[in-house]
Chain A
Amino acid sequence: MCGLSSGLYELIIKMLDFVVWLSETKWSIGLRESLYLYPWIESTHVLSICLFFGTLLFVDLRLTGRVFSSLSVAEMNRKVLPLTLFGFLVMFITGLLLFYAIPIRNYQNIFFRVKMLLMIIAGINALFFHKRMSNEAKVWDKDSFIPGSMKSSAITSLVLWSLVIIAGRMIAYNWFDCDRQPQPRWINTLTSCEVDYSLFEGIDGF
């Protein structure tokens, strides 16, 4: 376990070199200094989140078996899921571009890291969820019964994606950024900030 976590930490530090290289590429500089492109990408990101989450709400709530139950699961998915996937695609691409515009700050932002972690968990949940749903939706419709594990998976999905959106919103706040010191050591470890602690000697509460 200890070896795994120190290996992960080394990987995160190594990736910082890549992120620094990324930030020096011409297009990255162009994006972060742009007058129009950055705000357009940012707005598109937010709008595609609305499309993605707004339609996911229908799919997930239907799977709880309590809402929109006059519509079959198969039909709901056929009508709504393509929009969800389209929203996800636009959201993913604009998200990558937003990261690419400001790589170092995003990479070392604590909320960004929390968001990535939540997205991985939400992604695993979605994979499990989607596979089972496409195989069994017709059976559930016929029996008008949805397994309990599917219901909890649907609720997990809603909770996780809500947290992803909240964490994403919080990236804007630079409370724990590397240039805001002093921070507790554990925060600087989580954000992999290199800090000269000798500067803070003698400060109360540190």
Chain B
Amino acid sequence: MHIRGLFTKIWAYTGIIVVSVVIVFLFAFVFWKGGSTITWEFLSTPPAGLVLGSEGGILPAITGSLAFTLTAIVIGAVPAISTALYLVFFCKSRRMESMIHLVIQCIAGIPSIVLGLFSYSLFVRDLNFGRCILSSGIALGIMVLPFIEVRAEKTFRELNPAMIQSAYALGCNKTHTILTVVLPACRGELFSGIILGGCYAMGATAPMIFTGAVAFASNPTSLFEPAMALPLHLYLLVAQGHTSLDMAYGTAFVMMAVILISNVLVTMYARRRQREWKQ
């Protein structure tokens, strides 16, 4: 028993150390390689240079990525949270519940390039939206929908049922209970799920390339125009060879910093909400 316990401990610590070392190394490598590129000019100017992007900055890629991400989370989060609410509070048929779970799993399992191709043919061509932020936002929204739905459903299921039933027991209907008790109680976790979904969308290159991200576009001003995106910018810089590698690391640095900062902020927010809830 003692040996088994010791073995489990060593196994767990080894796992933690290996994972931590890999993550720290990855971040440190990108930050070390790209850190020197980060200047105010890099963050606030459009790309320039003879090989476009070898000089100047990445502002249109930052604004474009934010536009794609925001559109995606708006389009993805609403049906994701609605589906989770339906499954937890309204669905009484186990068969229906299994069917919806199966659909969600299938969407989660679609390779992003296939999703990009589907969105290209449906939204860009058939529905004639063209390559724009909206087409891309829908494609990315479909991609993050399962991500947000699974987290939202888990959050709703973990809420103390007595709290919900207390509202029902007062005669309040489900809609009122959801709006006044469930959603405020789950706000922190829902928000963190949405932001993490946004981070996931921000890094998804394939659907963006097919549907709305174009090389070196200017800052977006409407949902119906294409835009630049950080992952595409990174890809193009690397594809140009060694001339723009520093800029590529700088772009990667910005992407990772945005995702890291979002994660930290979201974790802090969710913990604060949880503390407020439990105190």
Chains A and B belong together in one complex: no
Give chain B's interface residues, CB within 8 Å of chain A: none
